[in-house]
Structure 1
Amino acid sequence: MSVNRLVNKFEYALFRHRTLVIVAFLLATLFLLFKATTIRLDAGFTKNIPLKHEYMQTYLRHAQDFGGANNILISLCDNSGDIFNADFFDTLRRAHDELLYTSGVDRVQVKSLFSPSTRFVEVVEDGFAGGPVIPADFVANSIGLAKVKENTEKAGIVGRMIADDYSCAMIAAQLLEVDPDTGAKLDTINFAATLEQNIRAKYESDTVSVHIIGFAKMVGDVADGAKGVLLFFAIAIAVTSLMVLFFCRSVMLTVLPIACSLIAVVWQMGLLSALGFGIDPMSILVPFLVFAIGVSHGVQMINSTGKRVAAGMDAKTAAQASFRKLLVPGGVALLSDTVGFLTLLIIEIGVIRELAITASLGVAVIILTNLILLPVLMSFVKFSQRYKDHAAAPTPIADKFWFALSAFATRKYAAVVLLLTAGLFAFGYMQSQQLKIGDLHEGAPALHENSRYNLDTKLITERYAISVDYLNVMVETIPSACTEHSIMSRIDQFQWAMENVAGVQSAVSLASVSKTINAAFNEGNVKWRVLPRNTQSLVQASSRVETSTGLLNTDCSVMPVILFLQDHKAETIERVVLAAKKYGAQFGDEQTRFMLASGPAGVMAATNEAVAEAQQPMMWYVYGAVILLCLLSFRSLRATVSVIVPLYVVSVLATALMTALQIGLTVSTLPVIALGVGIGVDYGIYILSNMTQALREGAPLRQAYFEALKERGSAVLFTGITLAIGVSTWVFSALKFQVDMGILLTFMFVVNMLGAILVLPALAAFLWRNK
């Protein structure tokens, strides 16, 4: 049975039972609306990392002994510039206790001046003396505070737990993935809100400022900013509604496509909730894209129906004719979108996979809401005589415009267009080769530089000697390796080599600490700051280091080398990782392996590599899916080439734009290219479906393109411009990644439209010969 016969049978059944169809959609919408009200923002640390990457396998293997990369740093700063006063220490103690008993915090891993594990050791006349930095009998008077200050200097924690200028003190903690109180996965967004309420709101005052950073806090700030997305969604709906009203000059024809597109969003949210998914803050923009795609296809439907009503058909006959005409090209376009989004599932990062599911579900339901429900609803519309007269009125200006544009389907003008396109492609390709993988700026890239989170990050980085961006190289070796001089020496040499790599601010390991302790055993003489060669002395030096320091595990078979980086920019992480691999191979052997990586920068390194590895396969899969569906739809290689080439040129130009705007390829920006391809293919398929039908009937190419423009051109131009205006408002968002996506999507909406209007016919001019 041919496709046309199937479409005809489906159309007959659908419009024969119109009322039943509407009732079924109404019931489904009410049910999914109820489910949509239960959906919640869902963010998690492990969703943002490639768990199967070799670095993350190392990270997970040792997370229990050394903690993970999901940490929280809270810096309390005294506005007078000196923390050694009674009020500050009282505030610090209370903040420490508050964090210690906050649900979701690993209490063993909470570190501050008030932690019992924060100790000092000093060389005295009789040997060694030491104890907690803050003694049990501490009283916050001048004597007690002077003693604590002395102890902090002896402990060597100035620059780590105490700011270099003594203006701030740090509380650090590791977070658990599973909340021990409830047994449920830690609610990152709720935890961030708890920090704001129980730490910052309670302990920030005129004399003390509170600065909080860490993955959970960053996600919380992104979630707060994401609430503003609803405002932009409302603005987009308003702008789109006004544009549709201007386009069709009918309130009812404005309401129907907007309503069907909103129903698609409701279905998307309801299905996600029914399947047990939440919506990640990084995917918060996807519902708008679903709305935009729905409007795009809805405008094609009302445009087609309106033209047929103007030609003398009644509403039901016009809706049926439009359904027959648009079901196949619209269905192919939406299937291309869906399959293209599903290709994101190859990227083994949870947040991208959830985005793929969210986007593909939304686009799939548009097939039902905008290609089936919308024409059924339009069959009930009572078109006024005024509308019919207006729609049937001659349009000489529009026809002249479309006829002028149809000149691009002649070889004379097509050659110019293709030469310009080739030049732009060559320029874009050269620029796109400079695209960086990873973050290109300091701080959290999802937030603006002047956001509270990034300002807190800047303050902590400037006032402390350590960086918040650190990478752990895990040295996996034999048990009791800290008593083997040959192994400790290789660790020491590796650390020295890495300290001299550009971008590494400082480093620490059991080897470097043991050298300091060895000097202490020899009256603090710096000449003895070396690794002892005999086992007894080495045991003496390393046994003073507790496992709580994070420098060794219980049997000394794993000893991290902690590298503090200047920043987490893509170039810095790439340079350090390459050096770590080089020196790890140089100083390692079968017995001692230098394994990457843990720590926040280690997670970023793994994520950057996963994104880099997925970039090309993702594009191949996206374009492979679109090419296959175009071939099945048009059954023509020429038609497929005409659709795909402009699409690919725009993809290359989009990556060039990212390079120019210093937008790195990250977890949040990688899917944009796939989303742009999925949305952009719609224009070409609608235009070419009309063209190929006319060509099969024997029309010359220019005439075929002219007829396609009269039928589809206004809807294509309208949707491209309208959607671009809608996303362009994102430049005012509180979220930096939404600003970036807004710029990229505006570019792709407009340029994909121009590609379908100008480049597609220019290619056709050389692929089809006029009779």
Structure 2
Amino acid sequence: MSGRISKGIAGGLFAVRPLILLAFIVATVVLGLQASKIQLNTDIRKMIPLDHPYIQNFLEHQSDLNLGNDIRVIVEETQHDDIFNADYMQALKDVTDDVFAMEGVDPSKISSLWTSNVRWNEVTEQGFQGGEVIPLGYDGSEQKLEQLRTNVLRSGQVGRLVADNFRSSVVHAQLLDALGKDGVDIPALSAKLELLRSDYQKKYPNVSIHIVGLAKKAGDVMSAAQEVAMFFFFTLALIAVLLLVDTRCIRSALTVTGCSFIAVIWQLGIVSYLGFTIDPYSMLVPFLVFAIAVSHGVQVVNTLANFAAGGMDSRTAARSTLEALCVPGMVALLSDAIGFLTLYIIDIGVIRELAMAASIGVAVIIISNLVVVPMVLSYLGVSGAAVRKIQAGDKKDHPLATLFARFTKTPLAIVSIVIALAGYGVGIYYSQDLKIGDLDKGAPELWPDPCADQECPRGFQPKHRYQYNHDVNFLVSNYSVSADVLVVMAKTPVESCNAYEAMETIDDLAWQMRNVEGVQDVVTIASATKQIATNMNEGSLKWATVSRDQYALNNAMSFMPDSLYNLNCSLTPVYVFLDDHKAETLDRVTAAVAKFAKAHNNPDQVVFKLASGNAGVEAATNQTIAANQYPMLALVYAVVSVLILLAFRSLRAVICIIVPLGLTSILCQALMAQLGIGVKVATLPVIALGVGIGVDYGIYIYSKLSEFLKQGMDLEQAYKETLKTTGKAVAFTGITLAVGVVFWVFSSIKFQADMGILLTFMFLWNMIGALWLLPALGRFLLKPDAARARQRD
């Protein structure tokens, strides 16, 4: 049945070869022009789960308060003992002015020693005294600098805006709505901040600039991701050379490489027409499309060369190739496409767009490589050297065939299956340590700070690939605040955020959180009230409490920072500063807040809502991935299994193809756990996409093997013949693609280096699994056609 369908399809397509090739060229030109218009995605909303309750709470209240959408520009003094000198203060003033004028920064929410909202106050015999930290009439003189030092000490900003060692200070700026529809242009803002860093370090030799914040991290990742294109073209050239070496036919090598590259152009053009963009995480997709296209192209060239070596002319060999590969190729590519679509169940924009882009790219390969490659080669043919190589190989056993055919024998088959079962056991055991989310401090997408475990000299300037994490480490090492902030929103009735009952409950939450492992400090309206009450009573710590007298609480509000309540006093944030944003830290802290909220939420007094801040966004993303990781993987395998079952109408086929794939997935998760790679937005798709890449190998090998078995060959002989054709192509593809991606370890983006390691492992292990474990399983599941075997005898 499938043979008649294949012949019908091949015959119909080859009857109109010129029209198909002309349409292919026209479509390539049109889609190429469209692909040139595709843009880098700058929308942070696509990188987070917008429907998660944490994010919904964030979006509901983001206009009320500072909920963690900010940047910190740290100006470090590198030559003097402290910041109290005229040159430094002038540099800080200029930096403050430039940050104030930046597009994307909320000019009403900037804090620096030079801004009027940073004040000092004290209680004296004459009453309250206070003012701006910068002394009136400041002129850079020693007298004014000494007064500035005194004002800083009285301001309560040491550890917040001023470093504990007085060698740096912060310009803290809130951003405009980065998660709104008309949000901040993140790459543009990041580029301006980088230019500010460069300009001031040249203008002021005594100054070093450090910049941290969610927007800066995202901007650095997007900037560094542009080099992915360099790796892509390097891989393309390398694969073309290896194809030429293997096939000994420049026509075949250029045809496969060219059509595979055109598949990428089509994919980019189509997604651009659909309004999608490219982001740092979906930049993996063009390479995957190219890799899968090469895999199928190699099968086409190998099969065509074998037909040509048998004496067929170019056109007949090409048509026979399309007939032979039509069903297995279509099944493999449909399995890839539908399998990739299962990623769509994860409610994160970049993953959903990645799922669509990958599925579109794989569907395109059906045309570009499965149909067009044999048609082009029907005109060009394969070289005489390629034909002679095939004919020479037919006269002697190929080393690959000799090696792997042994696994069809019962003793080695049993050993192989035992090893596979042990592999499953080891993989499951070690994959238990696999974590969701980030496992390192700072931004794990970028390389860790070289000064994380040692003290670098003052003013040390790391390479750009380390810069952001170096800046984070500088902040954490020199200030009492952290770069990782979880913001809990305390919702009260209108004009009741300073009611005693609400403040008491908020203070109880703060006490609970300070005792949670991983929490550095907690700042609330209650803690500020205690400090104000102490200052108003001659600094006596006996008054460091939340008063039951509402008039006293109302009086304290006149000194309350406006970042701790909204305009109608119906919302107040609880700022929880964390040691890091590791997955276990976020889980522990959010669980503690949720437990407290469940026990103490009272709509008439205060209701606690999670969560905002960069740690809140990370926690929401981790929870979304944790909830969908295994359902997505199960769905991928279910879809692939159903398609294999429909194609081959055999449960034995499903077992032979799926078992090696499952082993690869389990071992990949164990590898991630041992290498300290967490499951997150960047790595989750790789696990699913690895299944799509590997299923091609198994389908092609099983299809060819079953064909020889139907001819009556015994399993060992059938597998030897399979290895001489399809198996050799699988081995070449796996090794070539692994060599191509292994160079990703040199990327300036750590998550791309991590993906390079994972993909290298998957390409190689999927290849090994298909060549080694599939025939071992076949020893006990597959039998030759008995009637034909008798005829052969």
TM-score by length of 1: 0.96
Is 2:668 the partner of 1:654?
A: yes
In structure 2, distance between residues paired with 1:399 and 1:751: 21
Q: What amino acid sits opposite 1:725 in the alignment?
A: V
CA distance in 1, matches of 2:315, 2:172: 68
Counterpart residue number, 1:213: 212
> Does the C-alpha gap of structure 1 residues 453 and 365 become closer, same or farther in structure 2, counting only changes over 3 Å?
same
Percent identity of equivalent pairs: 44
In structure 2, the residue matched to 1:703 is: 717
Post-superposition Cα deviations, 1:388-436, rounded to whole Å, max 9, x if no partner, equal 3343224455446414422322332211000001011101101111101
Matches within 5 A, 1:224-373: 224-373=223-372
Q: Helix, strand or coil for the counterpart of 2:697? A: helix
The CA deviation at 1:193 is: 1.0
What's the offset of the Cα at 1:199?
4.5
Q: Give the Cα separation in 2 of the matches to 1:62 and 1:135.
A: 36
Q: What is the one-letter code of the residue matched to 1:753?
A: M
Q: Which residue number in structure 2 is paired with residue 558 of structure 1?
A: 571
Query: In the alignment, does 2:708 pair up with 1:684?
Result: no
1:559: how far off?
1.5
- Deviates most, 477-486 or 523-532: 477-486
Query: Is 488-497 or 114-123 further displaced after alignment?
Result: 114-123
The answer as to 2:472 corresponding to 1:457 is: yes
Instruction: Find the aligned partners of 2:200 and 2:270 in 1 and give their Cα distance.
Output: 40
Q: What does residue range 13-24 of structure 1 map to in structure 2 within 5 Å?
A: 13-24=12-23
Task: Give the aligned partner of residue 126 of structure 2.
Answer: 126
Please tell me whether residue 673 in structure 1 is matched to residue 678 in structure 2.
Answer: no
- For each residue in 1:539-585, what CA deviation from the matched residue of structure 2 results, as whole angstroms up to 9, or x when unmatched? 122342142xx211122221211111111112221211122222223
8 Å contact kept, 1:103–1:179:
no
Between stretches 602-611 and 139-148, larger displacement belongs to: 139-148
Separation of aligned partners in 2, 1:497 and 1:277: 45
Indicate the residue corresponding to 1:443 in structure 2.
Answer: 442
- Partner Cα distance (1:184, 1:603) in 2: 19
C-alpha separation in 1, matches of 2:267 and 2:81: 53
Counterpart for residue 390 of structure 2: 391
Alignment check: 8 A CA contact 1:104 1:179 kept: no
Contact 1:45 1:215 in 2 (8 A): no
Match of 1:155?
A: 155
- For the residues of structure 2 that align with 1:17 and 1:700, how far apart are their CA atoms? 40
- The equivalent position to 1:538 in structure 2, one of 546, 550, 553, is 553
Tell me how far 1:288 sits from its aligned partner.
Answer: 1.5
Segment drifting more, 585-594 vs 339-348: 585-594
- 1:419 counterpart letter in structure 2: V
Map Cα deviations across residues 189-209 of structure 1 (whole Å, 9 max, x no partner).
122112112454245531111
Shift of 1:645: 1.0
Q: Aligned-pair distance for 1:226? A: 2.2
Separation (CA, whole Å) in 2 of partners of 1:604 and 1:142: 46
* Letter aligned with residue 735 of structure 2: I
Cα distance 1:394–1:530, how it changes in 2: closer, same or farther (>3 A)?
closer
Following superposition, the deviation at residue 765 of structure 1 comes to 1.6
Residue type of the partner of 1:482? Answer: C
8 Å contact 1:69–1:603 — kept in the other structure?
no
Per-residue deviation, residues 24-79 of structure 1 (Å, max 9, x unmatched): 11111111111122222213222221111111111111111113433211101111
- Cα deviation for residue 136 of structure 1 reads 5.6
What SS does the corresponding residue of 1:173 show, helix, strand or coil? Answer: strand
Shift of 1:717: 0.5
Alignment correspondent of 2:530? 515
Aligned residues: 766
User: 1:192 aligns to what?
Assistant: 190
Residue range with higher mean Cα deviation, 530-539 or 379-388: 379-388
Amino acid at match of 2:658: I
Residue 149 of structure 1 aligns with an amino acid whose one-letter code is R
Deviations 1:255-312 (A, max 9, x none): 1100011101111222222222221022222211211111111000000000000100
Pairwise mapping of residues 163-178 of structure 1 onto structure 2 (< 5 A)?
163-177=163-177
Gaps in structure 1 of 5+ consecutive residues: none
**Which runs of structure 2 are paired with 1:619-630 in the superposition (5 Å)?**
619-630=633-644
1:234 aligned counterpart, secondary structure: helix
**Kept in 1: contact 2:67–2:487 (CA 8 A):** no
The alignment partner of 1:64 has SS state of coil
Taking the TM superposition and a 5 Å limit, the aligned residue runs for 1:579-598 are 579-591=592-604, 592-598=606-612
Structure 1's 236 and 603: CA in aligned 2 closer, same or farther, altered over 3 A? Answer: same
Asked if 1:725 corresponds to 2:739, the answer is yes
Q: Is the 8 A contact 2:267 2:361 kept in 1?
A: yes
Q: SS of the counterpart of 2:161? A: coil
SS at match of 1:282: coil
Instruction: Confirm whether residue 503 of structure 1 aligns to residue 502 of structure 2.
Output: no
- The letter for the 2-side match of 1:577 is T
Task: Identify the match of residue 576 of structure 1 among 584, 589, 592.
Answer: 589
CA contact (8 A) 2:260 2:290 kept: yes
1:602 matched residue in structure 2: 616
Deviations 1:677-735 (A, max 9, x none): 11011100000111223334443333332332222111010001111111111111111
**After alignment, is 350-359 or 592-601 more displaced?**
350-359
Q: Secondary structure at the match of 2:634?
A: helix
Query: Residue 240 of structure 1 contacts residue 722 of structure 1 at CA under 8 Å; is this kept in 2?
Result: yes
Q: Structure 1 residues 391, 745: CA separation in 2 closer, same or farther (over 3 Å shift)?
A: same
Structure-2 residue corresponding to 1:420:
419
Please give the alpha-carbon distance, in whole angstroms, between the structure 1 residues aligned to 2:69 and 2:572: 20
Amino acid of the residue matched to residue 193 of structure 2? L
Counterparts of 2:353 and 2:397 in 1: how far apart (Å)?
A: 44
What is the DSSP-based 3-state SS (H/G/I as helix, E as strand, rest coil) of the residue aligned with 1:41? coil
The answer on whether the counterparts of 2:400 and 2:723 sit within 8 Å (CA) in structure 1 is: no
Specify whether residues 693 and 17 from structure 1 end up closer, same or farther in structure 2 by C-alpha distance, changes over 3 A only. Answer: same
The 3-state SS of whatever aligns with 2:703 is helix
In structure 2, distance between residues paired with 1:248 and 1:138: 78
Match of 1:142 in 2: 142
Amino acid at match of 1:763: L
Give the conservation status (yes or no) of the 8 Å contact 2:252–2:382: no
Q: Distance in 2 between matches of 1:95 and 1:46?
A: 29
Q: Which moved more, 1:351-360 or 1:602-611?
A: 351-360
Task: Tell me how large the CA RMSD over aligned residues is.
Answer: 1.9
For residues 268 and 314 of structure 1, the distance between their equivalents in structure 2, rounded to whole angstroms, comes to 33
- What is the SS of the residue equivalent to 1:393? helix
Distance 2:399 2:210 in 1: 63
Cα pair distance change 1:545/1:712, threshold 3 Å: same
- 1:100-158 deviation per Cα after TM superposition (whole angstroms, max 9, x unaligned): 11111122222222222222222122332222222564332222222222222222111
Residues 588-612 of structure 1: CA distance to partner in whole angstroms, max 9, x if unpaired? 3343222111111111111111111
Change beyond 3 A, Cα 1:500–1:248: same
Q: Which moved more, 1:593-602 or 1:101-110?
A: 101-110
Distance 1:332 1:174, change over 3 A: farther
Q: Contact conserved, 1:481 with 1:488, CA < 8 A, in 2?
A: no
1:201 to 194, 199, 204: 199
Candidates 595, 604, 629, aligned match of 1:615: 629
SS in 2 for 1:281: coil
Structure 2 Cα separation of the partners of residues 484 and 77 of structure 1: 41
Counterpart CA distance in 2 for 1:342 and 1:420 is: 32
Q: Is the 8 A contact 1:42 1:187 kept in 2?
A: no
Cα distance in 2 for partners of 1:69, 1:718 equals 50
Instruction: Decide whether the 8 Å contact of 1:485 with 1:535 is kept in 2.
Output: yes
How far, CA to CA, are the matches of 1:130 and 1:661 in structure 2?
Answer: 54
Give the distance between the partners of 1:444 and 1:483, measured in 2 at CA: 37
Counterpart code for 2:531: T
| Letter of the 1:690 counterpart | K
Distance 1:501 1:356 in 2: 38
Q: Given residue 194 of structure 1, which amino acid in structure 2 is its aligned partner?
A: K
